[in-house]
A and B are shown apart, each in its own frame.
Chain A
């Protein structure tokens, strides 16, 4: 029994609640959405560390031309494993599974998600898929060397363990579909009495839009990967021109999922930032409906732009200009969000606490990632930089600078609510500085040498690119140091930090109306639903 720090009501937090099981079983068989969120958090954090170390090894290999610390085939395996782990096991589930699970029900005034047992099942599927993915690296045939995109025809002929890796991605997809389904039903059926769609906070809006993409797009990649497996095992000829197939069919099907998947990664990140900015500016969010509807617009239009990954593949000219047009259209709702965040800050009472610093750096990095995306959306410039390190830089600015920094922002924002403890602000600020400097040092030089012609996924390179590779490697070391400091600070906060009050940031949404950490069913009384969830002024 503990006090929530603000009132005298005695309660049992979800962390202390004694259910049917105890010890480890009380976690791995938990159906409480908050415990499941923490299960995802610990699993994803572990995979992130593995992926980050693999990334650092690649950077050490590239510090000088020629072989430095590994053989070319090892390098091919490592960038594939890095991609598979980071995309399928970290970035796609990341914000949605951790913070969506924990905060979606609370923010809409519900006791849990619509299907708690299905939620636990999704986590188990995720773990099973992850085990398969890791196991694929240790098979006798060697780790897959196709890159995370598994492009045919190479993936149908290479002798490495492609089948195991694609099976893993297929299984992980099921977890994503079930989580998406759960969240859609939760938003439709579990909102607190009186809470209409346009009374919801904006993080649930972004999770809702994301869930639709998870539900509709993921089956497509599932079928595609099954087709690839069938092609390898039975030589059916889906992608083999000799048998009447088409290698571009794989690319179409793969990107019909994998481009919307980028929005699975970034939409929840945008939702997190939209929660943080009004809180630390103590100001009503600017353009509530525009932000909410832009999430749906991004989800919808994001389905139709996949072809911009295929400009150099031999796709028809008509398709190329059409995809280019659609790609420019998807920039509009993204820009609406950025304008609204900045307008929310205008004349706000800004408080530069760690979550807000991470949110600010998200906007900065996302703008760089977004505007370089326009260079890639345009056919002519895309062809110039296709398959160069410019793509690597752009992609990491969006995914790491966007989703990654939003994840860090979210954990600094919501950790007091999740664990009922505060962390050290000074250490958090130093970690943020290291992450921000390290990130830009690591990835920005890749834009420059990408334009100059440095190819991506190459083990070796001409000496004129070494200056940038050295800067990037130094940036990588600073970035990893920042991550280690940040994680240490958060763990120390959870273990030894001060007790967090119910509302440490003076937030206005529903999670700040309940004790820290919340009780098992979140709300002991029916929550008070406001017409505008951000009613600071």
Chain B
């Protein structure tokens, strides 16, 4: 792994990501005015997931890191999703 390699993200890119994050926040608020029943939480979590992905990729520079690091972080999110799904095997069938 090259320890000295660094990547500087342009302010223009960071500004675009910031705008996207603000848009996602408004989207999260606006969907509460629709009656989506059980899908309300699912959609809110999906939007939050997109926001998390953007923060990790651009603000935390994961997009420019080595493949190993991206795989490690990706595995953590995969594990999180699996744990949530398994928990719902109980809640959905109880």
Contacts and interface: CB of A to CB of B under 8 A. Distances in A.
Interface of A: 188-189, 216, 248, 252, 256, 300, 303-304, 307, 314-319, 322-323
B89 interface: yes
Given A316-B93, A319-B93, A216 B79 contact: yes
A205 to B, nearest CB: 16
A307 B89 CA distance: 11
Residue of A248, A256, A304, A319 with most chain B CB atoms under a 10 A cut-off: A319
B90 A303 contact: no
A483 to B, nearest CB: 38
Contacts of A318: 89-90, 93
A315 B90 contact: yes
Interface in B32-88: 76, 79, 82-83, 86-87
Contact of B94 (A216, A256, A307, A316): A316
Contact of B83 (A188, A303, A319, A322): A303
A216 B78 CA distance: 12
Interface of B: 1, 3, 76, 79, 82-83, 86-87, 89-94
Contacts of B92: 316
Contact of A248 (B83, B89, B90): B90
Contact of B76 (A216, A317, A319, A323): A216
24 contacts: A189-B3, A248-B90, A252-B90, A256-B83, A300-B79, A303-B79, A303-B83, A304-B82, A307-B86, A307-B90, A314-B94, A315-B90, A315-B94, A316-B91, A316-B93, A316-B94, A317-B93, A318-B89, A318-B90, A318-B93, A319-B86, A319-B93, A319-B94, A322-B86
A303 B76 CA distance: 11
A189 B66 CA distance: 13
A221 to B, nearest CB: 13
A400 to B, nearest CB: 29
A44 to B, nearest CB: 29
Nearest to B79: A303
Given A216-B79, A315-B90, A319-B90, 13 more contacts: A189-B3, A256-B87, A300-B79, A303-B79, A303-B82, A304-B83, A307-B90, A316-B89, A316-B90, A316-B91, A318-B90, A322-B89, A323-B86
Nearest to B80: A216
Closest A-B pairs by Cβ, 5 of them: A319-B90, A316-B93, A316-B94, A318-B93, A319-B89
Nearest to A317: B93
A437 B44 CA distance: 58
Contacts of A319: 86, 89-90, 93-94
Contacts of B90: 248, 252, 307, 315-316, 318-319
B93 A252 contact: no
Contacts of B93: 316-319
Contacts of B86: 304, 307, 319, 322-323
A340 B28 CA distance: 53
A322 B93 CA distance: 12
Nearest to B91: A316
Contacts of A303: 79, 82-83
A377 to B, nearest CB: 16
Contact of B87 (A188, A252, A314, A317): A252
B25 to A, nearest CB: 23
